[in-house]
Amino acid sequence: MTSLETPVGLLIVNLGTPDAPDAASVRRYLAEFLSDPRVVDLPRFLWLPILYGIVLNTRPKKSAHAYETIWNHDIGEGPLKTITRGQAEKLAALGLSGKAPVIVDYALRYGAPSIATQIDALMAKGCARIVLLPLYPQYAASTNASVADAAFAALKRLRHQPALRIGAPYFDDPAYIEALTARITRDLAALDFEPEVIVASFHGLPQAQIDRGDPYRGHCEETWRLLRVKLGMGEEKLRLSFQSRFGPAKWIGPYTSEVVEELATSGVKRLAIVAPGFSADCLETIEELGVQIRDLFVQKGGEKFARLSCLNDTDEGMALIETLAKRELSGWI
């Protein structure tokens, strides 16, 4: 077997999840997540005392309760991990191998299995070339760059390093827009009501990170524009918003909670919400959008509400991931 015929590793990567829905596990997870300088890029001497003195002593219990409401106790894990593993298994079953075999696996940026652990596992199986495919459509330093940081940190400790590719963001990729359009159209058709407005809710970022050059907001706006074109909807029919803000700093807006409250108080009775930037359903989509935002809408006068699922490991979602994987593997298989 020549060097070009040795196995190629393909590692899909998503954000992460605690090991269990209890305060101790959530505290460990948040400590890893919120101590990442890519996520909170304040000076360490300012942020770490706040993180360890306040945040990690107050937030884990509340977050653990939220995780408990979405936890799959039968297999002992959160939905994001279950879905990401399912995506990897379905991708492996598609038979991507060409002149070289492809070994598919998954990793989580925070929690287990880690990027470093999975790179080691792929190398142990003979993979001298590895593709990392971050499932973040819109580029942000706190997601895509953090994945690269973790991968390069893992390689830094190795004498025999694999060749490494990291997948590009795909916010404007026709395959992504097509997958979203097909999934949204199918889910809307399955509802027992017709929404007056659909809210496209993306994860938020601190405004300061955008001001320092992060392209994330522009990527989200372009996804939103392309979706509107593909779905044939105007800006008032498909609204743009940003969710999951944390702390007192200004975040990019408009905030999902404020958009939904404004719609309800202005007389909108039927609303659907979708999270195009999430590749797998998780706490932020299931509990934040599906429970907190739903309750807010109803409290403010809304009557019919639907949370549309993410692409997950559906046929549409897998068609997209297969397209992205083949593109990044090109020339290696």
pLDDT tens digit sequence for 178-208: 999 999 999 999 999 999 999 999 999 999 9
**How would DSSP label each residue in 151-188?**
HHHHHHT-SSPPEEEEPPP-TT-HHHHHHHHHHHHHHH
Pair 153, 32: CB distance under 8 Å: no
Phi, psi of 203 (to 5 degrees): -65, 140
pLDDT tens digit sequence for 2-32: 667 899 999 999 999 999 999 999 999 999 9
The token pair at 314 is 């559906």
- DSSP three-state, residue 188: helix
Length of the chain counted residue by residue: 333
Pair 172, 277: CB distance under 8 Å: no
Average pLDDT over residues 269-286: 98
> Does residue 1 surpass a pLDDT of 90?
no
**CB proximity list for 30: less than 8 A, separation 6 or greater:** 55, 56, 59, 60, 63
pLDDT of residue 322: 98
pLDDT tens digit sequence for 291-306: 999 999 999 999 999 9
Q: Which residue has better confidence, 242 or 1?
A: 242
Pair 197, 239: CB distance under 8 Å: yes
- Closest to 263 in 3D by CA, of 290, 234, 297, 303: 297
Pair 180, 137: CB distance under 8 Å: no
Q: How many CA atoms lie within 13 A of 124 on its CB side?
A: 6
pLDDT of residue 247: 80
Average pLDDT, the chain: 96
Pair 162, 235: CB distance under 8 Å: no
